[in-house]
Structures are given as C-alpha cells and as structure tokens.
Amino acid sequence: MKKNKKNSDLRRHEYFIFLIAILIFVLGLIFIILSFINKDSDNISYDYQVNKNIDYSVTIKNNPFYSERTLTKEKHYISSLVDYYKIIFKYDFIKDNNFELEYKYNIEATISANVEDTVEKEIWARKFILKNDKKGIIKNKKLYLEEKVDIDFLYYNDLVQEFKETYDINSDCLLKVKFNITYNIGKENIYDYLELDIVLGENITSASENYLKNNNKEFEFLYSEFSYLNFLLGTFLIVVSLSLIFLNRKRSYVSLYEKKKKNLLREYQDIIIEVLNMPIFDSSKVLNVSSFDNLVDLAYGHDSHIIFYEAIKNREGNFYVIIDNYAYIFTLKV
C-alpha cells in the first residue's frame, strides 16, 4: 500500500512539472509573438535634401568638319554625325537622422512619338531597360550615387526613322533616358527621378534635362521598432520549459529503472551476485530470455546464481545465468 502511494506521488510530481513546463512554453511563445505584433511605434518626421545633376557629352564620328570627337553639353548636334550620348547621373541624398532606409534604382530609356492635334498626343512608345534594379540600405545620413550610361544614338534614331517612313507619320520623337529611385520606409515609398530627353528623327538633335534639380522636403512616417526584450524573454522561457521537460523525462526514466532494479536485487538477494566487470561469453553460446521470471526458474532449477552487471548506469542492466557453458541473459531497461 505504501509502495503504491509512493509511486502515485511520484507520477503526480512528474505530471505537475510537465504541466508547469508547458505553461512556461506557452508564455514564452506569447512573448515572441508580441515582439512581432506589438512593436514600439512612434511618428517620426525628418528633413532630407536631394542634390541632382546630369552631366553628358556627345561623341561624334570622324568627319572633315570637327577637329574634336567629343562635344560638350547643352548644344545642338548634327544627327548624322552623332555616335553616342555619354550620360552621367549624379544623385546626392542627405537626411538629418540615422534611420536606415532601403532604396532601389534603375535606368531606363523610352522612345516617345507624339503628334499635335489641338494638344500633343503620344501615338507610340517603347521602353528599354538600360540598367536593372540595384538595391541598398542607407545606414548613415548620406547617400551618393553616380551611374554612367552610353546611348547608341544611331540605333534609336534609325528605329524612329523607320517608324516614320513605315507609317508616313510626321511626329515629334524623344528618347527619354530616366534614372528612377525609390526609398522604402516601412509601408511608405518616396519616388524620385532624373531625366534627359534626346531629340530623335530630326536633322539636328539636342538634349534637355527634365527634373526638379534640388529638393528640400520633410517626410513623416510611422516608425515601428522590433521589441528585442519580448523576443529574448520569450526565447529564454521556451529554453527553460524544454529543459524542464527533458530533465523531467530523464528523471522519470531513471526513477522507473532504479525502482525495478532495486526491487529485483532486494527480492532475490540470496541468488543474485552483482559484478563490476562485464562478463565475456562466446556469442554462439548466448541465449536471451524473455522474462526475468524465466531466468529465476533456470537459476533455481539448476541451483545456480544470477550474475548482475549494469551496462549503462541508471539506464540498462544485464542478468546472467550460466548453465553448461551457455549464458542465459535477461536485459532490464526502460
């Protein structure tokens, strides 16, 4: 009766520890979830300044009229002599705080053909990606970008001339070379650009800059900061709960094994001999017994002792009966 009560108390203790561990685990999980949901939020406003510039030059083909091959910007050029427009986009972003901003930018060119009615209308457009998206993070207060692109004027000009001749349309055509940049601040985006418009399909070509050169703006956004305290506390509680479950499970295994081992050693102490070294037998003469009772019957039937050796401390033990050079073994483990 006392033994059953003791076993029952032990099981209740194990169940209690397991329940506490589950509660701690759930609590830790709640803290981790809250670290992602209930972030510390605040309205942040800051000023930023943007300085933008487009520098370009025109490379012309060999000819008997011009001594130089490179012509400077803001001039008119003979289309049949133009080889390349060499463009440099310069973008300088300065902000008044150290909040990290994600950004991406690309460069594209669009042929735009327009005809005049009462107002100018676009009748054809074709886009070309000159440089694919590039991404980055502004980690300090300043970002400076400089991107170079060479425009094969002959290719785009011939394409426009073919369009005009094919459809016999007198249209004004431009090649709009555009540097696009977007900042991502949480769910908010700031878009900005630089654009150089190049005249196509005419005897004379020129380029004009089309963008707001300098920006001074104030931007306000909801800033949410990840709650590291909740996350670390939740992680700690989960580690504690898992440790409790592991130790409690290990303790229950040890307790059950120890209980069975002690009962057998005490009940059959008159025939059991405990040894410290593992007995060695010929494997062809080793037989496994299905139950300890069968091993006891063999020992009593042949007036033999039972040898006990603990193979794994607190986890596994072997009981041997040796009869006529054969070893009969029963393994106790949990």
| Residue 92 sits in the same domain as residue 220 | yes
332: β partners: 317
Q: Tell me, yes or no, whether 241 lies in a domain.
A: yes
pLDDT over 90, % of the chain? 49
Domain boundary, last residue among 162, 191, 224: 224
What pLDDT is attached to residue 313? 84
Higher pLDDT, 251 or 326: 326
What pLDDT is attached to residue 53? 95
| Residue 182 sits in the same domain as residue 301 | no
Q: Tell me, yes or no, whether 235 lies in a domain.
A: yes
| Residue 16 sits in the same domain as residue 80 | no
| Residue 131 sits in the same domain as residue 156 | yes
- Cα 43 to the center of its chain, rounded Å: 27
Model confidence pLDDT, tens digit, residues 40-83: 555 556 677 889 999 999 999 999 999 999 999 999 999 999 99
In sequence order, the 6+-apart residues with CB closer than 8 A to the CB of 128 are 108, 109, 110, 111
Q: What is the arithmetic mean of pLDDT over 267-283?
A: 88
| Residue 6 sits in the same domain as residue 25 | yes
Written as six digits, the tokens of 2 are 């006392």
Q: Tell me, yes or no, whether 254 lies in a domain.
A: no
What is the rounded CA–CA span in Å between residue 321 and residue 299? 6
What pLDDT is attached to residue 250? 57
Q: Which domain holds residue 162?
A: 40-224
| Residue 104 sits in the same domain as residue 207 | yes
Model confidence pLDDT, tens digit, residues 167-194: 998 899 999 999 999 987 656 788 999 9
Q: What is the arithmetic mean of pLDDT over 281-291?
A: 87
| Residue 111 sits in the same domain as residue 150 | yes
Indicate the helix (H) or strand (E) that contains 143: strand 142-152
> What crossing angle do the helices spanning 2-37 and 228-267 adopt, rounded to 10°?
160
Q: Quick one: which of 269, 253, 249 has its CA closest to 312? A: 253
Total count of domains within the chain: 3
| Residue 87 sits in the same domain as residue 118 | yes
Q: What is the arithmetic mean of pLDDT over 217-229?
A: 59
| Residue 188 sits in the same domain as residue 285 | no
Q: Tell me, yes or no, whether 58 lies in a domain.
A: yes
| Residue 166 sits in the same domain as residue 219 | yes
What pLDDT is attached to residue 251? 57
Higher pLDDT, 219 or 311: 311
CA distances from 255 to 13, 29, 109 (A): 12, 31, 77
| Residue 212 sits in the same domain as residue 281 | no
Q: What is the arithmetic mean of pLDDT over 293-316?
A: 90
Under the banding of pLDDT at 50, 70 and 90, the label for residue 252 is low
Written as six digits, the tokens of 320 are 């041997």
What pLDDT is attached to residue 39? 52
Say what the pTM is.
0.56
Q: Tell me, yes or no, whether 259 lies in a domain.
A: no
∠ CA(214), CA(219), CA(222), 5° rounding?
155
Model confidence pLDDT, tens digit, residues 109-128: 999 999 977 677 899 999 99
Under the banding of pLDDT at 50, 70 and 90, the label for residue 245 is confident
